[in-house]
Structure 1
Amino acid sequence: MNIEARKIEFIQEFLKLQSEETISKLEKILKKEKDTSDERLFRPMTIDKLNKRIDKSESDFKNNRFKTSSELLAKYE
């Protein structure tokens, strides 16, 4: 059974539930899983990487490799 079929089957069974307690438990599981998956996607930047980005940004600014906010806004108007 593929993932889409499993989701549909799960939703159909979920819609049949009458117990508010069971629904609450499933909501908590879903929220916890979502929070965990969001944490796995987020990787904080290391201090070394942050410092390298700052150095590059300062170098770009000194060498006139940047766009002003007005230039950026004009691009999307």
Structure 2
Amino acid sequence: MDLQQSKIALAKLILDIDSQELIDKILRVVQQDSPDFWDSLSEAEKEEIALGIKQLDQGKGVPLQKVLKDIS
């Protein structure tokens, strides 16, 4: 069975599950196996994000509509 067929078979099995507890367990397994995007960022990118969060916490955010207007 190739990858695509395996995914389809798995999806069919999941759709037939009636247990919320089992669905939650499957979600935890899948989420644990998925890489966290944060780990793929450079230190400079992480610092920029931290700075942006700090500025937002200080009320220095810019409304989305203003940003969109400025870039168009």
Q: TM-score scaled by structure 1? A: 0.47
Match of 2:40 among 39, 42, 55: 42
Distance in 1 of aligned mates of 2:14 and 2:5: 14
Paired residue for 1:19?
19
Identity %: 20
Structure 2: runs of 5+ lacking an equivalent: 44-70
Say which one has the larger Rg: 1
**Aligned-pair CA distance for 1:43:** 6.8
Specify the code of the residue in structure 2 equivalent to 1:25: K
Q: Give the corresponding residue for 2:32.
A: 32
- 2:21 alignment partner AA: E
Tell me how large the CA RMSD over aligned residues is: 2.4
**Runs of 5+ unmatched residues, structure 1:** 46-72
Give the Cα–Cα distance (whole angstroms) in 2 for the partners of residues 22 and 38 of structure 1: 23
Runs of 4 or more, structure 1, over 3 Å off, are: none
Q: Distance in 1 between matches of 2:10 and 2:29?
A: 14
Secondary structure of the residue aligned to 2:30 is: helix
Deviations 1:27-54 (A, max 9, x none): 11111111xx346x72756xxxxxxxxx
